[in-house]
Amino acid sequence: MLATEDQLPTGTYFIDQSGAVLMADTVGTLPADVTLNGGVYMAGSATLPAGLSVDPTTGVILTDGTTYYPNTINNVGVLCAASE
């Protein structure tokens, strides 16, 4: 084992669906007005950071996967809350 979870810097890694620990190349921060609707992130009025866009019809935040946002997952391009 290279490191335990408590030895890794907070917010710089995530565990993928197969249980592998991966380091994020780029870590971003979501705007304060982003909300959750049933586990799906919804855009507010603030400009979204790089790697994110919004579906103009639904308000759902879409991700291109280039930036990792802590406590989120990329669900086929939709930014969703990661379950613990």
Task: Tell whether 49 is covered by a domain.
Answer: yes
Residue 17 lies in a domain: no
**Residue 39's domain spans which residues?**
26-81
For residue 43, being part of any structural domain is answered with yes
Of residues 54 and 73, which shows the higher confidence score? 54
Say whether pLDDT at 11 is over 70.
Answer: no
Q: What is the reported pTM? A: 0.76
- Higher model confidence: residue 9 or residue 35? 35
DSSP line for 7-76: GSPTTSEEE-TTS-EEE-SSB----TT-EEETTEEE--SSPPPTTEEE-TTT-BEEE-SSSB-TTEEEET
**So what's the pLDDT on residue 26?**
81
Number of domains making up the chain:
1
Residue 80 has pLDDT above 70, yes or no: yes
Does residue 15 lie within any of the structural domains? no
Residue 20 lies in a domain: no
Residue 71 is assigned to a structural domain of this protein:
yes
Residue 70 has pLDDT above 80, yes or no: yes
Indicate whether 21 belongs to any domain.
Answer: no
